[in-house]
A and B are shown apart, each in its own frame.
Chain A
């Protein structure tokens, strides 16, 4: 069914994990050999920059650019952190990757650490991903055994230790500076930026934080070259492949590796098998819980950063959650806001108090006790919270509310008018 090139998932066999033998048999660690033997750290960074790879953790910041801010050439202690706190509702791609092919990440970490000239890398995994942690432990041990980790790797004179950090993990730990606090063992509130982690991160040292999927792309970029990687994308400017985690009211809710730029309709209909039970498509979250809803009129949009931003939504993590025509969007939004309000670290006022307040209003409206002033209040709250909080959590939380207000205001009105949820049974 999936005829698109399988890069990240090439070793994926459902129900199995590829460890070092199968990984190497399929060309694993060739990127590492090439990178460490034939390239300088600067060349690797330049290659990643040339590939146009954008971070796969949700924000989509160009990876090579981020690396170029890092003081790789300074002889100070510095760290690489791999962000595996995957907890946004609808996002489960990193987990699939680690279940299928942990060595791919390890190879990426080693190459990235070499490019950034760090000697200690931390892979942050939340507690719920215990199986992934065990896979990584085995992969780290095997890589060490094979001489890819430890002292003087491949005769470069460069050392690397990979530390697996099992964390209690909460949504806020996905925020990079909160994650650094988490690794340090203190309460995971985000930190004030500046100083940015590249200057002062883990234990006050320069630190680079990247998502798991992002780092997994690195060996392929090194092996295949930036031109090849760019051509994997379908859209102009879209590069590489992307793991799409499908969920919601679809016939098939699985994780697929698809080219960046693939139309949403193809994702939903071909790969998701269409909306389940023959119902109509009403809306979807295109990239996880923090991305504003898209509706049926957007089905032909290419799934890529720019086209989705033009629709005031975001590509995010490409966790696509589909809602069928019987879904109450007020209820769906409330469900998401509850998550964000609960996961707020409680640090800054707009997020801590503002999100709860939005939740209470939505609860009132959903229960049929709402009024039109409250709809106006929701619009106001979106402004009060967006761009005014300490970190991006509250801003993300406003994503679904923004989508609700732009595309489904009528549903809010209907709740108020009827004094009940129009979709209730």
Chain B
């Protein structure tokens, strides 16, 4: 700690603090333009110059100069005021003053500082830039005439996003921010640069001319897409979400957002949202009253054998009510297609005695060794990916990526890629365990099952696995060594509908490795299992699981056989997203009654007998639990369209009709009830869930046990082409395919091929390609790049109508025939 004096105020700050940060602590405001809390010091704008008694003779930039013991700082004097005003005048020499038509008006740092320093006129006159606006992409507009060259976009894209879209080019007065070769912006469109831009040089195009900032009602909530649980601020006007604004003061994401969190909101405003219940009459779905629709659903629940398939984007409170609906009606209940999360949670229970991540996201930023299982982690949880970027780029973490394809993660500095043939991740994890045991680096104190495990690993000696998977032996032993040497290690595993195969085996293999490397028992970080959806962890915590009833796949099988009177699907589109589409179709056809509760008339809803219009995340009040067990508040920014109701209201009505005695006044009361029933949530008060949420179980969840369990990997698929599926960076589940933002980047399914395969097939990007397997064919546009090894093709799982699940039935990889045309 160091003590210093700022404007006469004594302040004690950490050794690493700058003068600017120290001043903040002392309650002294120093104006800044190029400074940003989350970026490294820059010192370019020269607005924050101050006087330091010990450094007389020149003015000192507060944002880059470390505070030192005994420093005496003056932040305001006539000279300083003049300097700052001069800087503003300099910046305004070439700045176009088109504030009336600039969307930044009202929240522009340049405007505010100009006002603060009373720059009424400019003593300097010069050339105004007249550069063309970059509006090649549909999401981010770049007007470099408004740029003040603070470099915040360049830095955030490099330091945090690790994409590096921007750079300064040219020199002197001609200096500007440009993209590669000064062409239009083409990147992953996370829009982090928009959050950082202090002026109107970078603007979200979907929000152009929609509202002045002060006209927006701002509501802090949690993103409805993935399990990252990012805080999003809904900017609402005219009962529509007009934009998503970042908030770096609360939540776990430090204001960072990804393309879908920032631009994926528009589906909630869509005209084709369901607004009234629909009931099938004479083969047609026609509008009906809520009473009619709910009566039909409740009598089916009451009288027959029912199966309920939930999504994981419902709030905890809604899931709790749904569980009561299922209990009251003695219906089977499951979620998210059943297999993926089930295997993961069972695997973790058997090994570590828990069913969640052990640490928090911020702990990963300080991790020293990180293993990501599948490079798709960046696609499934992009903002957690940014945490990894910082751990690696800024803090020098060693980084291992075990994957069947390369991606963003593999490009991080010194990332070590363990590139395996598809579906063989378990084999490689077993081999790393074998290497740990063989070299004596394994930590086995307090671990049970060591001997059996050791003997079961005979088939997974590094050399053998190397021959099978293509991962070099040295890479396996190096990974073992690094993980064993970790003081604060993290293993990351994402799960979800596109990752159903071997999920239990993967969870066990990852947990075995976490145990043997000592990571599970460390004080921070550890094993991270990250669900695909916003409340995947909540669904596990609340037990939206089959229990004694039928699991999702069993429900589908029963329905197909005509053994199910009611199949009630909530917030899921199994026709599109579940593997094995034929099985889903047979179930829909075989069930006596199908009810779909959704925002849209999805392909599944089109087949339903009753359709209930539901509310989106932007219309809900309640809580989500993210992938690090953080319970956070979801708040409504708008009301639902037409007669659409929240799942909360629908379930409450159903419970009433089913004769249950419930009278919850709102999510608060339901949360109290669920906390009373659920040990992990016990003692957590809904109203006490603050800006940072509440992490149940504490920041580090100690494993209840450390049991090694033997698991078998797969044999490689022998085929000229293998198909793997997964998430694409710009989408999440099927919901994002209805949002303009993500669609603007990718609006249809594609089949991705490596360059070598593409050349052999004579296929170029956008050519049509036929993919054949299991007696079915799908035709897709080709996307050629260099992520995939020879013989592997990838199709994302988000899009309805592509029929991916005609050829994909849940296997880790599918032997396919690929032809041009």
A interface with B by C-beta (< 8 Å): 170, 172, 187, 189, 192, 194, 341-350, 352-357, 360, 377, 384, 387-390
Closest chain A residue to B176, Cβ basis: A346
- With the chains together, A347 CA to B47 CA distance in Å? 13
Checking B49, B66, B151, B173 against A388 with a beta-carbon cut-off of 8 angstroms, the contacting residue is B49
**Listed residue (B42, B46, B49) with the most chain A CB atoms within 10 angstroms of its CB:** B46
A-B contact pairs, 14 of them (CB 8 A): A170-B171, A192-B41, A192-B43, A194-B66, A342-B172, A343-B171, A345-B172, A345-B175, A346-B174, A350-B46, A352-B90, A353-B124, A387-B58, A390-B46
- With the chains together, A235 CA to B552 CA distance in Å? 93
Looking at the assembled complex, report how far the CB atom of A411 sits from the nearest CB atom of chain B, in whole angstroms: 23
- With the chains together, A298 CA to B664 CA distance in Å? 93
A346 touches B168 (CB 8 A): yes
Given A356-B126, A388-B58: A350 touches B90 (CB 8 Å cut-off): yes
Checking B59, B90, B167, B174 against A349 with a beta-carbon cut-off of 8 angstroms, the contacting residue is B90
Interface size on B, residues (CB 8 A): 35
Checking A189, A354, A360, A390 against B90 with a beta-carbon cut-off of 8 angstroms, the contacting residue is A354
B58 touches A357 (CB 8 A): no
Given A348-B43, A387-B58: A360 touches B172 (CB 8 Å cut-off): no
Q: Top 9 A-B pairs ranked by shortest CB distance?
A: A346-B175, A387-B58, A353-B90, A356-B173, A344-B172, A192-B64, A384-B86, A348-B44, A347-B44
Looking at the assembled complex, report how far the CB atom of B448 sits from the nearest CB atom of chain A, in whole angstroms: 43
- With the chains together, A370 CA to B410 CA distance in Å? 59
Q: Is B475 an interface residue (CB 8 A)?
A: no
Q: A390: which B residues are within 8 A, CB to CB?
A: 43-44, 46, 61
Given A192-B64, A350-B46: A357 touches B126 (CB 8 Å cut-off): yes
In B543-598, which residues have CB < 8 Å from any A CB?
none
Checking B41, B57, B90 against A357 with a beta-carbon cut-off of 8 angstroms, the contacting residue is B90
A356 touches B43 (CB 8 A): no
A352 touches B175 (CB 8 A): yes
In B36-74, which residues have CB < 8 Å from any A CB?
41-47, 49, 57-59, 61, 64-66
- With the chains together, A342 CA to B170 CA distance in Å? 9
Q: Is B87 an interface residue (CB 8 A)?
A: yes
Q: B126: which A residues are within 8 A, CB to CB?
A: 353, 356-357, 360
B49 touches A357 (CB 8 A): no
Looking at the assembled complex, report how far the CB atom of A370 sits from the nearest CB atom of chain B, in whole angstroms: 13
- With the chains together, A29 CA to B529 CA distance in Å? 64
Q: A189: which B residues are within 8 A, CB to CB?
A: 168
Q: A342: which B residues are within 8 A, CB to CB?
A: 171-172
Checking A349, A354, A387 against B57 with a beta-carbon cut-off of 8 angstroms, the contacting residue is A387
Checking B41, B59, B170 against A387 with a beta-carbon cut-off of 8 angstroms, the contacting residue is B59
Looking at the assembled complex, report how far the CB atom of B34 sits from the nearest CB atom of chain A, in whole angstroms: 9
**Listed residue (A194, A352, A390) with the most chain B CB atoms within 10 angstroms of its CB:** A352
Given A387-B57, A388-B58, A390-B43: A346 touches B172 (CB 8 Å cut-off): yes
Q: A194: which B residues are within 8 A, CB to CB?
A: 65-66
- With the chains together, A189 CA to B154 CA distance in Å? 13
B91 touches A353 (CB 8 A): yes
Q: Is B93 an interface residue (CB 8 A)?
A: yes
Given A341-B173, A387-B57: A352 touches B149 (CB 8 Å cut-off): yes
Q: Is B81 an interface residue (CB 8 A)?
A: no
B171 touches A345 (CB 8 A): yes
Q: B406: which A residues are within 8 A, CB to CB?
A: none
Closest chain A residue to B59, Cβ basis: A388
A356 touches B83 (CB 8 A): no
- With the chains together, A336 CA to B45 CA distance in Å? 24
B171 touches A349 (CB 8 A): no
Q: Is B183 an interface residue (CB 8 A)?
A: no
B45 touches A349 (CB 8 A): yes
Q: A343: which B residues are within 8 A, CB to CB?
A: 171-172
B173 touches A348 (CB 8 A): no
Q: B58: which A residues are within 8 A, CB to CB?
A: 387-388
B45 touches A348 (CB 8 A): yes
Closest chain B residue to A186, Cβ basis: B167
Looking at the assembled complex, report how far the CB atom of A168 sits from the nearest CB atom of chain B, in whole angstroms: 12
B168 touches A187 (CB 8 A): yes
- With the chains together, A212 CA to B61 CA distance in Å? 31
B124 touches A357 (CB 8 A): yes
Looking at the assembled complex, report how far the CB atom of B165 sits from the nearest CB atom of chain A, in whole angstroms: 14
A346 touches B46 (CB 8 A): no
A388 touches B94 (CB 8 A): no
Q: A350: which B residues are within 8 A, CB to CB?
A: 46, 86-87, 90
- With the chains together, A352 CA to B90 CA distance in Å? 9
Given A349-B46, A349-B91, A357-B124: A388 touches B171 (CB 8 Å cut-off): no
- With the chains together, A384 CA to B90 CA distance in Å? 10
Q: B149: which A residues are within 8 A, CB to CB?
A: 346-347, 349, 352
Looking at the assembled complex, report how far the CB atom of B61 sits from the nearest CB atom of chain A, in whole angstroms: 8
Given A192-B42, A387-B59, A388-B46: A356 touches B172 (CB 8 Å cut-off): yes
- With the chains together, A348 CA to B90 CA distance in Å? 11
- With the chains together, A127 CA to B530 CA distance in Å? 52
- With the chains together, A377 CA to B124 CA distance in Å? 9
Checking A346, A377, A387, A389 against B171 with a beta-carbon cut-off of 8 angstroms, the contacting residue is A346
Q: A354: which B residues are within 8 A, CB to CB?
A: 90
- With the chains together, A245 CA to B171 CA distance in Å? 28
Closest chain A residue to B90, Cβ basis: A353
Q: B86: which A residues are within 8 A, CB to CB?
A: 350, 384
- With the chains together, A346 CA to B45 CA distance in Å? 11
Closest chain B residue to A351, Cβ basis: B172
A346 touches B87 (CB 8 A): no
11 more A-B contacts (CB under 8 A) besides A194-B65, A388-B49?
Answer: A172-B171, A189-B168, A192-B61, A341-B173, A345-B172, A346-B170, A346-B174, A353-B124, A355-B173, A357-B126, A387-B59
B49 touches A353 (CB 8 A): no
Looking at the assembled complex, report how far the CB atom of A365 sits from the nearest CB atom of chain B, in whole angstroms: 15
Q: A344: which B residues are within 8 A, CB to CB?
A: 171-173, 175
Looking at the assembled complex, report how far the CB atom of B741 sits from the nearest CB atom of chain A, in whole angstroms: 31
Looking at the assembled complex, report how far the CB atom of B20 sits from the nearest CB atom of chain A, in whole angstroms: 13
B168 touches A341 (CB 8 A): no
Checking B46, B124, B167 against A348 with a beta-carbon cut-off of 8 angstroms, the contacting residue is B46
Q: A377: which B residues are within 8 A, CB to CB?
A: 123
Looking at the assembled complex, report how far the CB atom of B174 sits from the nearest CB atom of chain A, in whole angstroms: 7
Checking A187, A349, A355, A356 against B87 with a beta-carbon cut-off of 8 angstroms, the contacting residue is A349
Q: A388: which B residues are within 8 A, CB to CB?
A: 46, 49, 58-59, 83
Q: B151: which A residues are within 8 A, CB to CB?
A: 347
Looking at the assembled complex, report how far the CB atom of B91 sits from the nearest CB atom of chain A, in whole angstroms: 6
B41 touches A389 (CB 8 A): no
**Listed residue (B45, B91, B171) with the most chain A CB atoms within 10 angstroms of its CB:** B171
Closest chain B residue to A359, Cβ basis: B173
Looking at the assembled complex, report how far the CB atom of B575 sits from the nearest CB atom of chain A, in whole angstroms: 50
In B157-188, which residues have CB < 8 Å from any A CB?
167-168, 170-175
- With the chains together, A389 CA to B83 CA distance in Å? 11
Looking at the assembled complex, report how far the CB atom of B278 sits from the nearest CB atom of chain A, in whole angstroms: 59
Q: B64: which A residues are within 8 A, CB to CB?
A: 192
Closest chain A residue to B94, Cβ basis: A353
- With the chains together, A261 CA to B26 CA distance in Å? 51
B172 touches A349 (CB 8 A): no
Closest chain B residue to A361, Cβ basis: B124
B83 touches A352 (CB 8 A): no
Q: A170: which B residues are within 8 A, CB to CB?
A: 171
Given A357-B93, A387-B57: A352 touches B46 (CB 8 Å cut-off): no
Q: B57: which A residues are within 8 A, CB to CB?
A: 387
Q: B124: which A residues are within 8 A, CB to CB?
A: 353, 357
Looking at the assembled complex, report how far the CB atom of A146 sits from the nearest CB atom of chain B, in whole angstroms: 37
Closest chain A residue to B175, Cβ basis: A346
- With the chains together, A394 CA to B46 CA distance in Å? 13
Looking at the assembled complex, report how far the CB atom of B351 sits from the nearest CB atom of chain A, in whole angstroms: 39
A389 touches B46 (CB 8 A): yes
- With the chains together, A113 CA to B175 CA distance in Å? 37
- With the chains together, A353 CA to B122 CA distance in Å? 13
Looking at the assembled complex, report how far the CB atom of A289 sits from the nearest CB atom of chain B, in whole angstroms: 15
Looking at the assembled complex, report how far the CB atom of B394 sits from the nearest CB atom of chain A, in whole angstroms: 11
